[in-house]
Structure formats: structure tokens, C-alpha cells
Amino acid sequence: MKDNFKLLNNVDMDLDKYEDLNIDKDKLKKKMRTQIKTKNKFKKNISVAASICIVGIGLSSVGVLNKSLAYNVPILGSMLQMIQNSLNNNDNLLDSYTEVNKSFSKDGLTVKIDKVVYSKNQIFMELELKTDVPFEESKYAKTIVYDPRESFADSLELVGRDWEFSINNKKMQNYTFAYPRFHYIDEYTLKGNMLIDFKPFIDESNEYDIFKMEFNLEAVDYDRETHEYNHIEDINGPWSLEFPVKSNISKTKTIRPKVTQDGITVQKVVLTQTSLNLNLSSKENIGLYAEVKDDQGNILSGAGLGMSSGDTYDGDYYLNNIGQDMKYITVLAYKENLNGSSELVTEIKINLK
């Protein structure tokens, strides 16, 4: 991209701690800085999973900026699998999913949406791809790339571009996602899923909200020596699908504790069946950010977007299981020192019952 916002020029992309990343970290950092498309401040070093998500999966209106990094996000893979397993096992999400069964065909490729789980800040979709000729013989063969990493149940990724999402005709601005992952059903058909995390932007939800997605595709070659994807050609659609999704906003619990300790105030906690959103404020601009522990002392992994203005923080976290019933959480608030190091300011216990 041509525009590199000075705001993010000094973001610390701390990738050295992720030793299993089989990539050139310096090259990745440089590439990431040239692809930033947002004017929002996204907090760094929130947690292992969160910082990967922020840097690798999305920076407001950007999809996966580097596929190699995205593959190293086990938490995202785990959440995908937890939702999928919940649907397959007639579990907690049964009253929250919509049978869509809607498809869009163009130029020999049909994209179908089967089931959708929708909450205030997440959309999970079961998808199907079908070609008129065997997929590997079609012009779309190179839009699917193979990665066997165990953190994802499916090993085939669809390389899309120009992704746009909207709800009730309002365009998403701050969201993260990894490209959809698939497996073959037969030589013409692939099935898979996709999870999008986003900052809530719908003030009022209906019984059914209207979700729309649109994208084009990209044919690529994977270089196993450099672990990079080389562009072959753009494949223009666009493929566009619009459909109603059942809202489970009624399953969302909002708590406004307004608890202040050591100059840090917990303004709001929002719980869905799969995630937790936390809003904090501080009396001073300290580069505020936070981690969250459940009532068993387990850290909740970052779900993608953590946004800080210095004296406020808005962070998202995945629950450790679907419908996790927590009596309380512990908020660990941190400040950022001038040398870039982090310092724990306080730990605040918030009752959820």
C-alpha cells in the first residue's frame, strides 16, 4: 500500500518470542508496515495470541497480511474447532445458529453458505466451494494453498482479496480473520469454515440481521524454501452473498462494574457465548492494556483487536470453552514504559454473577 500511517511506524511487532514461526521475521515486519491500512491505534504485546492476531490476521479492514504468520495462531484454530464441535454435537450454540443454505455462482465457481453462528462481535460460517469441472483442473486450483499445521482441522486455505463485510448495510471497519480453511468432499467440492472477529458497530439488533460478504480471489504459488506466496494472477468475481442471520444478542451479558483501583477503572465487560470484551480507562496516558484471567486462573487468549488510546483500552478475548460460566474474572492492567517495557499496574477482580 502507498500510505504508511506514521501513527503505527513504531509499533513493536515482537515476533522473536514465537520460535515456531518458520518465517523471516525481519522481512515480515517490514512487509507488515507497508500494508497497514488503518488510522486506529492497535495495542501491541497484549498476549501471545493477541499480538499475533493484531499483527498477522488484521489491522482494521485488512485480512490476513501474511499467511505464514496466520498459520501460527493456534487459538484461532481452536476457537474454530470449538464452534464446529459445538454445532456437530448439538451443544450450546444450537439456538444461536442459522441454516442459511444460500449460494452464489460466477464463472464456474459456486460459493455456498451452510450454517452461520452470529453474535455481537463474531461471525462463524460453514462454507462450500463447488466447481463445474474438477477443482484441481479449474482456473481456481491455485487459489487453494496447502498447509498441514495441526492447529487447524483443515489444511487447505482459500486465498481471497478485496474482502468486504457488512451488517444491516453498515460496513465493518475494525475486524480480523484468517482466510477460510477447507477439505475436499469430492473432486468438485470442498467444505470448510471461517471466523470473523469484529468490533461491535450495530447499536440495535433485530431478531435477524442481514450479513453481506464480498470478495475476489488470487492465484498463488507457494515457495517452500522462502515460505512465501508468489502472486500469479487476480481472479475477479466478485463473489457476493447476502443473507439473514439469527441474532443471539439475547445471549450477550453486559456488566458495568465501574470499579477503580490504583487509577484504573473497569468500565464495561461484555460476555458472549464465545468471547469477552473489556473496556478500561486510566487517569493518565500510560499506554494502557490488559490481560484477563478466568476464575480458574487461566489467561484468556486475545481474539484479535486490542485498541488503546493511551488512557483507554478496548480488548477482545476468546473464552476457554463455549458458554464458559465464570463467577469472576481478574483484570491485569499494564502500562507501557518509555523504554518499551511493560509494567503491571494492578490486578482487579470483577464479579460476573
97's enclosing H/E stretch is strand 97-106
**Distance between CA 68 and CA 21 in Å, rounded?**
8
Q: Work out the average pLDDT over 26-54.
A: 33
Tens digit of each residue's pLDDT (9 = 90 or more) over 295-305: 999 998 875 56
Say if strands 144-146 and 160-167 run parallel, antiparallel, or are unpaired: unpaired
**Of residues 71 and 174, which shows the higher confidence score?**
174
How far apart CA 271 and CA 323 sit, in angstroms, is 9
Residue in this structure with the C-alpha cell 471497519, named with its chain if needed: 173
Q: Which pLDDT belongs to residue 41?
A: 34
The answer to whether 229 touches 67, Cβ cutoff 8 Å, is: yes
User: Is the pLDDT score of 259 beyond 90?
Assistant: yes
Q: What is the pLDDT of residue 52?
A: 30
Q: For residue 256, what are the contacts with CB-CB under 8 A and spacing of at least 6?
A: 267, 268, 269
Confidence of residue 148 (pLDDT cuts 50, 70, 90): low
**HSE-up of 285 (CA within 13 Å, CB side)?**
3
Decide which of 153 and 87 is more confident: 87
Q: CB of 292 within 8 A of CB of 282?
A: no
Find where cell 518509555 sits: 338
The answer on pLDDT for 230 being more than 60 is: yes
Q: Which residues pair with 265 in a beta bridge?
A: 260, 281
CB 209 within 8 A of CB 202: yes
Averaged pLDDT, 80-102: 73
Cβ neighbours of residue 239 under 8 Å, at least 6 residues apart? Answer: 104, 106, 109, 111, 214, 215, 216, 217
CA dihedral of residues 99, 105, 110, 114 (deg, nearest 10): 0
pLDDT top residue among 178 and 276: 276
Dump pLDDT digits (tens) for 155-197: 788 988 899 999 989 888 888 887 888 999 999 999 998 888 8
**CA atoms of 299 and 223, how far apart (whole Å):** 36
Span 262-285, average pLDDT: 92
C-alpha span between 71 and 64 (Å, rounded): 10
**What distance in Å separates the CA atoms of residue 48 and residue 295, rounded to the nearest whole number?**
20
C-alpha to C-alpha distance for 307 and 40, rounded to whole angstroms: 8
Q: Rounded distance, CA 117 to CA 99, Å?
A: 9
pLDDT at 217 over 50: yes
Burial class (CB in 10 A: 0-12, 13-18, 19+), 312: middle
pLDDT band (50, 70, 90) for residue 352: very high
Q: Which residue has the higher pLDDT, 151 or 336?
A: 336
Q: 89 to each of 81, 141, 247, 311, how far by Cα in Å?
A: 12, 33, 21, 43
Band (76; pLDDT cuts 50, 70, 90) = low
